[in-house]
Chains A and B, each alone.
Chain A
Amino acid sequence: MQKALLIDPEKCTSCLQCELACSHQHTGMFNPVQSRIRVFEFEHGARAIPYTCTQCEAAWCLHACPVQAITVNAATGAKQVDADRCVGCKVCTVACPYGTINYEAHTGKVAKCDLCGGEPQCAVACPTGAITVSDPDTATHAINPLLLGRGATA
């Protein structure tokens, strides 16, 4: 099953439960700085947009990686980083037009949303339903591969 996160900013109260849950899932600590989903506040918190990878089909990060450190999880469709293989070159971070794969200085590698193996903890933690799990065809923004130079892969 191809999964993705569906985000409805209207419902977000910027309580940051998602950031806490994500960092705990991936690092064992509650540290929003290491969260792979980030909540951006507008108008001093009056509005907020939770933002993370949409597991886009174009998979810019995966195609840019020089050592095949990013692969598709067969079960969930998530594009995930193999930390053992990642050399930390950061090419994926500038190639991803959504800016959702980020370099972490303390590991020397990149990190991105991996859908937690199928049960995204941010969605579990979100008390308002602003983050839910859906199939990506109905979700998210899509960037035209043609404009970005890859050509249409029909």
Chain B
Amino acid sequence: MRHLIIGTGPAGVIAAETLRGHDSEAEILLLGDEPETPYSRMALPYLLANNVGETGTYLRPDPKHFQARRIQVQRGRAASVDSQAHTVTLEQGEQLDYDRLLIATGSHTVKPPIPGMDLDGIENCWTLADARAIAQRAQPGQQVVLMGAGFIGCIVLEALVARGVALTVVEREPRMVPRMMDQNGGELLKRWCESKGVRVHTGTQVDAIKADPERLSLTLGDGGMLEADLVVCATGVRPNIAFLEGSGIETDVGILVDEHLRTSAPDVYAAGDVAQGPVFNGGQREVHAIQPTAGDHGQVAALNMAGVDTVYGGSLAINVLNTLGLISSSFGQWQGVPGGDSASALNGEEFKYLRLEFDGDFLVGAIGLGLTQQVGILRGLIQTRVNLGQWKKELLRDPHQIVHAYLECNTSAEAAA
């Protein structure tokens, strides 16, 4: 059996390890187009903040990790897939055949279609190469503009401030991290950032960038102007699916996969940021481009590739963010569901916020700011569908009773079992 995996991010690497765990004989080839040892994009902000060196970003610190598991790592970029012939053609022309194929190619960054985006001094923060380029320019005292205050943007924000730059953030949506925080949370975050000396413009966008001889000059939609030594662009990413054109593999935003992480083509699976798959609460398949989903996808896809029939329970959007020391997290359907109840506790002075969303007696979503202890139980309560029973009333009164509710419901469930 020959397994071919395209992509050496967490989804690909975890899949390769899982395959080896279930089949000591199979050939496992991990193909990736980046020159580095498989690394974690998530660790890049900590590299930028000088908390770790490049080896600290490696997915697996042991240099013999892959060799020891007889996982062959090959550098190359897949250019096309022929799912009938079971072959993948690389950009250099080489052809690789497979019995089972996993596509774990992640996403690429997209820059907004405005004039000046290809000028020198405008960087993404997506790859190790990007991080090196940013590190070179983001020196203490330099003026840096961050375009986009989404989840990734806010993580990068933290790293840029740690480098001692003078930072201005521009977010087109009316609030920071709009897909992770509601108005209350977004406002608190913004106020917090401003109190730490970061300038934050929300509800406006960069319309054009021009190169002055010395610096970049940015025009904002609200008429404002900004100067920058460096612009970091974090305005969004899209799944890497272009090379699948003509392959017969069905795509939408990402590669469509079923509850076995199978694509529409026989023997072809997809996992991680590139996959558009089942979500925990049912409904339309979605791309959940987060680390935990990449790991879960990689594992489930590999089990099925190895012949261990495994059904995926669906991904849940879970995010945690540290913004200059203010920690925020969000889980599942934090916007609430029709007919559901909602509870919240806001303490703006202390930058504390907790919002819980229920569907009947079940928790379906949550937002937390300034919450670091036992946060994982929010995932536990949502994803194991704990019936809160009597505790729901308590929680509507005081959401901070959440750990107590969890412990009581779990203990009584055990007693009943």
| Residues of A that sit less than 8 Å from B by CB | 9, 38, 40, 42, 49, 51, 60, 63-64, 66-68, 85, 87-91, 93-105, 108, 141, 143-144, 146-154
Contact = CB atoms under 8 A, between A and B. Distances in A.
Contacts of A147: 313, 383-385
Contacts of B269: none
Which 8 A/B pairs are nearest by Cβ-Cβ distance? A97-B380, A99-B374, A99-B377, A99-B376, A66-B40, A151-B310, A96-B376, A87-B46
Given A40-B404, A102-B372, A105-B325, A149 B379 contact: no
A141 B240 CA distance: 40
A52 to B, nearest CB: 11
5 contacts: A49-B411, A66-B42, A96-B376, A148-B313, A153-B303
Interface in B237-256: none
A85 B61 contact: yes
A63 B14 contact: yes
B351 interface: no
Contacts of A49: 407, 411
B314 interface: yes
B380 A98 contact: yes
Of B295, B308, B378, most buried by chain A (CB within 10 Å of CB) is: B295
A95 B411 contact: no
Given A87-B46, A150-B296, A94 B379 contact: yes
A13 to B, nearest CB: 17
Interface residues of B, number: 60
Contacts of B303: 151, 153
B312 A67 contact: no
A42 B299 contact: no
B395 interface: no
A64, A85, A88, A99 interface centre (most CB from chain B within 10 Å): A99
A103 B315 contact: no
B61 A143 contact: no
B56 interface: yes
B57 A67 contact: yes
Interface stretch (B84-92, B112-120, B226-234, B316-324): B316-324
Which of A40, A63, A88 counts the most B-chain CB atoms under 10 A from its CB? Answer: A63
Contacts of A63: 14, 295-296, 299
Task: Name the residue among A68, A104, A108, A151 with the largest chain B CB count within 10 angstroms.
Answer: A151
B300 A150 contact: yes
Nearest to B410: A141
A152 to B, nearest CB: 6
A90 B383 contact: no
A101 B379 CA distance: 13
A28 B195 CA distance: 35
B313 A150 contact: yes
Given A64-B295, A94-B318, A99 B51 contact: no
Contacts of B329: 93-94
B376 A95 contact: yes
A68 B59 contact: yes
A137 B354 CA distance: 35
A152 B404 CA distance: 29
B311 A146 contact: yes
B311 A151 contact: yes
Nearest to A91: B291
Contact of B327 (A90, A148, A153): A90
Interface string B387-413: 000000000000000011011101101
Contacts of A100: 374, 376
Given A49-B407, A97-B384, A91 B320 contact: yes
A40 B291 contact: no
